A and B are shown apart, each in its own frame.
Chain A
Amino acid sequence: MFTGFDFGILWLNAPFLWNGVLLTLQLTLFAVGGGLLLGIVLAVARLSSIKPLAWLVEGYVNFLRSMPLILVIFWFYTLVPKLIGRPVSGFYSVLIAFVMFEAAYYSEIIRAGISSVRRNQISAAMALGLTNLQSMRYVVLPQAVRNMIPVLLTQSIIMLQDTSLVYVVGLRDFLTSADIVASRDNRPIELYLFVAIVFLVVCFSASRLANRLRRRYAL
């Protein structure tokens, strides 16, 4: 039975919730960073002329995109300690899972971005006497990056939301912390609504930013 809102509970548990927020931010930051780096490597491999490499990467990307993220988290959570041979903190296992997963999506965005630069631009660059490397550096990549950035930002916002899935392995991110408080003090409404509103505000603002970036810089 609903007995009325008590938002004081948020204030009371602020430090605990704040630690959850920090974990969420940490996970997101490292996952985005690691995912981008690996994504670039994968995209370059996919675009290279070494066929077996391109195939391997394509297989990897398609494979990871066919599975739910929760399953990937379970995989790495149980496997990483076994592979390394000793217990590993859940944080690192989950981080690896996120990096491997997001890299698949980032690599597709990067690949699409580079392929989106018109072939004639490359012809024009070559006609001026620029080498392949120079065309990439001065003509293709600047254009590709400008087109990619809004989409990469959008994907990163999705990543931020996906970090909430660490709930399934008990890592104390923002949502899980709120859930712990909610069950302990039996005030699910205030806590879950609070989490929802925070995410809504943050992600909405970020996606507006991505939109503005796309309008301003896309070629």
Chain B
Amino acid sequence: MIELAHVSKWYGPTQVLNSCSMTIAKGEVVVICGPSGSGKSTLIKCINGLEPFSEGTITVDGVSVGDRTTNLPKLRSRIGMVFQSFELFPHMTACENIVLAQQKVLGRNRDAANAKATELLARMGLAEHATKHPAQLSGGQQQRVAIARALAMDPIAMLFDEPTSALDPEMITEVLDVMVKLAEDGMTMAVVTHEMGFARKVADRVVFMDQGSIVEDADKEAFFGTPRSQRAQLFLSKILQH
């Protein structure tokens, strides 16, 4: 479904991605982890073309992302993305946030879009917050609305860029629960996160990045059991302390 082949990227003289290759099959859940600055956020933003890349190819459901002739907005409408800072549109209510792209990109009429929004919010347990503005919602609620906003587009895959890193501890669970349910329902997911508990629960594979390169790419059991690289071991030992 998603294939990255030898993807490299330079910011001026600095190389931020170093020949990264990986595949995500349909229905797979891949967790990408690694220390700060390892390039994991950049890599995931390359998948839907939010970040350009200098070398290599990325293909999503047969469509090449780096190709100049690709209709990027159309491709992006088929991939859902959830950001660390939620990025709900503050001048719209929760419902309006979810309805906007349905109407303007997918061309759904207002009633259909509203119905979908209501259904998704109910699924998240946020039905009574539909007419609230983001400023009136907690971080965990905002992030769940953000996930609903992405799901409303009926995406073929979902990308998560550190979805819980900006949340207070007591709200992390509610968001992770939503993501676990998504995974169990068979969504193709690429998740950049530090939450190893989540990885252990639902990930199929874990990818470890360091300094722009993919250092390790293994099945969940293999990764947590016997990580092959020293850097992965060091990283794991640091974050598994808590």
Chain A residues engaging chain B, CB cutoff 8 angstroms: 120-121, 123-131, 134, 138-139, 142-143, 146, 219
Contact = CB atoms under 8 A, between A and B. Distances in A.
A125 B76 CA distance: 10
Contacts of A121: 87, 89
A131 B88 CA distance: 17
Given A128-B150, A129-B105, A123 B90 contact: no
A129 B150 contact: no
B90 A128 contact: no
Nearest to A132: B73
A130 B85 CA distance: 19
A71 B92 CA distance: 46
A127 B75 CA distance: 9
A219 B91 contact: yes
B100 A138 contact: yes
A130 B105 CA distance: 6
A120 B77 contact: no
A138 to B, nearest CB: 6
Nearest to A128: B101
A134 B101 CA distance: 10
Given A123-B50, A124-B87, 17 more contacts: A120-B83, A120-B85, A124-B89, A126-B72, A127-B79, A127-B150, A128-B100, A128-B149, A129-B78, A129-B153, A130-B104, A130-B105, A131-B73, A134-B104, A138-B89, A142-B91, A143-B90
A127 B50 contact: yes
B198 to A, nearest CB: 21
A128 B83 contact: no
Contacts of B20: none
- Chain A binding site: helix, strand, loop or mixed by DSSP? helix
Contacts of A123: 45, 50, 83, 87
Given A130-B105, A134-B104, A219-B91, A124 B77 contact: no
30 contacts: A120-B85, A120-B87, A121-B87, A121-B89, A123-B45, A123-B50, A123-B87, A124-B81, A124-B88, A126-B72, A126-B76, A127-B79, A127-B80, A127-B81, A127-B83, A128-B101, A128-B105, A128-B153, A129-B74, A129-B75, A129-B76, A130-B101, A130-B105, A131-B73, A134-B104, A134-B105, A138-B89, A138-B100, A143-B89, A219-B91
B164 interface: no
A109 B83 CA distance: 29
Interface string B84-104: 010111110000000011001
B153 A146 contact: no
Interface of B: 45, 48, 50, 72-81, 83, 85, 87-91, 100-101, 104-106, 149-150, 153
B48 A127 contact: yes
Contacts of B104: 130, 134, 138
Contact of A128 (B45, B77, B85, B91): B77
A77 B150 CA distance: 58
Contact of A124 (B72, B73, B79, B83): B83
Pick from A124, A125, A143 the residue with the most CB of B within 10 Å: A124
Given A142-B91, A219-B91, A129 B73 contact: yes
Contacts of A126: 50, 72-73, 76
A128 B149 CA distance: 8
A129 B156 CA distance: 13
B48 to A, nearest CB: 6
Contacts of A143: 89-91
Nearest to A127: B81
Contacts of B149: 128
Contacts of A139: 89
B37 to A, nearest CB: 19
Nearest to A131: B73
Contacts of A146: 91
Contacts of A120: 83, 85, 87
A187 to B, nearest CB: 53
A7 B205 CA distance: 87
